[in-house]
Amino acid sequence: MRYASSGLLSTGSSAARARALELLAAHPGAEPKSFTFIPAKLEDNAILMVHGYTSSHHAAGKNAPGKEGRGVVPGAAGWFDKLIGPGKAIDTGKFFVIAVNALGSAHGSSGPNTIDPSTGKPYGPTFPHITLRDMVASQKLLVDSLGLKSLVAVVGPSMGGFQSFQWAASYPGFMKGIAASVTAPKAPSRLGGLEALQKRLASDPNWNGGWYYENGGIPKVLEEIRYDTLLNYGATEADARAAAKVWAKMYDGHSLVTLRRAIDSFDITHQYDRLKQAKVLYVNSKTDKLFDIALCPAYVSDMRKAGVDITYVELPSDKGHMASHQDAEMWAPILKAFIDKL
């Protein structure tokens, strides 16, 4: 398994930096250009950032002019840029911040577009089925390899929220807290069918039974899928179209299927007792079309009944599913207070 193309947004001492670079050298799937180092001291102060369904490890900051990175849109800031950095809610002057690309994604970790050593070609449609537990287990390997014995928190939006909840369920006591936004402890019913997604991908003339890598890929259908997704998230038509064009050139259709299948099977609602060792900050948007806000109070009530220390926040944002990053200022003080008290 290749290590994630993990963006270390802030690292600790020179020893920690050297260890991270040592890992990069040992695991060619992790690209040095995906790492940015901001001084901080590594002690017991690590925070793991986990991303959404179609996003990447690019959680904060911008690439320097002329520099590129997988999953990094040129000139664009990371998805939680308003929340991560010196003096921000997740203060890189205090915390060792690791942003990791999810297993199965198209942006550097082992995934369908990874070269299968037995064939010399991408795994494509033969890439194995994975679960959220597998994603988190791969991240635990990375964390262990960095020599970390614990985490302050795991933080992420949407599918990143799934991963945050899964971390608490899979490794109780390893992190002091989780902060999960625009998400739920189980997959929503509003996603639409996996079979419909597969059929839509296969409608591209370059599909070739799923072996489209040598045919120029399937950017046309990916752009339309992304455009529709962003509209559902709450983006304007103009913004959705512009973003979809860029994204379609970077992503892989099989990763959509791989991650979507993992999402569909996600449900920790019967494991709340395993969350009791971590404090939980659960943040949602009142206008999210993907996660039904009406269901959230019941999730919160059930977690509290199980003994989970949970803080629940509903953002009065008009940004829909994108509220936690586009209207980050609405909850940045809450996140900062939560993190600082862990």
Which is catalytic among the residues 288, 317, 324, 325? 288
- Give the model's pLDDT for residue 26: 42
Burial class (CB in 10 A: 0-12, 13-18, 19+), 207: middle
DSSP 9-36: SS--SHHHHHHHHHHHHH-TTS-GGG--
pLDDT tens column, 44-81? 899 999 999 988 999 998 876 666 666 677 778 899 99
- Give the model's pLDDT for residue 334: 98
Q: Which domains does the chain have, with CATH numbers?
A: 7-189+268-341 (3.40.50.1820), 194-263 (no CATH)
User: Is pLDDT at 19 greater than 50 in this prediction?
Assistant: no
Our measurement of the distance from residue 188's CA atom to the centroid of its chain's CA atoms, rounded to an integer in Å, reads: 17
pLDDT category of residue 16 using cuts at 50, 70 and 90:
very low
Our measurement of the distance from residue 282's CA atom to the centroid of its chain's CA atoms, rounded to an integer in Å, reads: 16
- Give the model's pLDDT for residue 250: 87
Q: What is the percentage of the chain residues whose pLDDT exceeds 90?
A: 69
Mean pLDDT, residues 90-102: 93
- Give the model's pLDDT for residue 3: 43
pLDDT category of residue 10 using cuts at 50, 70 and 90:
very low
Mean pLDDT, residues 112-123: 94
Q: Are 335 and 175 in contact (CB under 8 A)?
A: no
- Give the model's pLDDT for residue 24: 39
- Give the model's pLDDT for residue 243: 87
Q: Are 82 and 328 in contact (CB under 8 A)?
A: yes
- Give the model's pLDDT for residue 28: 39
DSSP 167-208: HHHHSTTSEEEEEEES--SB--TTS--HHHHHHHHHTSTT-G
pLDDT tens column, 291-342? 999 999 999 999 999 999 999 999 999 999 999 999 999 999 999 999 999 9
Angle between helix 237-248 and helix 219-233 axes, rounded to 10 deg: 140
- Give the model's pLDDT for residue 64: 67
111 vs 106: CA distance, rounded Å: 6
Q: Are 101 and 107 in contact (CB under 8 A)?
A: yes
> In what helix (H) or strand (E) does residue 96 lie, and over which residues does it extend?
strand 96-100
Mean pLDDT, residues 273-280: 97
- Residue 97, strand partner residues: 47
Average pLDDT of every residue of the chain? 86
Which residues lie below 8 Å from residue 195, measured CB to CB, with a gap of 6+?
A: none
pLDDT tens column, 189-215? 877 678 899 999 999 999 999 999 998
Q: Are 308 and 275 in contact (CB under 8 A)?
A: yes
Mean pLDDT, residues 41-45: 69
Q: Are 241 and 227 in contact (CB under 8 A)?
A: yes
Which is catalytic among the residues 10, 321, 324, 325? 321
pLDDT tens column, 212-239? 999 889 999 999 998 988 888 888 999 9
32 vs 25: CA distance, rounded Å: 9
Is the model more confident about 289 or about 272? 272
End-to-end CA distance of the chain: 33
Which residues lie below 8 Å from residue 212, measured CB to CB, with a gap of 6+?
A: 204, 206, 218, 253
Which is catalytic among the residues 10, 34, 158, 170? 158
Count CB neighbours of 270 within 10 A: 12
Q: Where are the alpha helices (DSSP H) in 203-270?
A: 219-233, 237-248, 253-264
Active site residue 321: yes
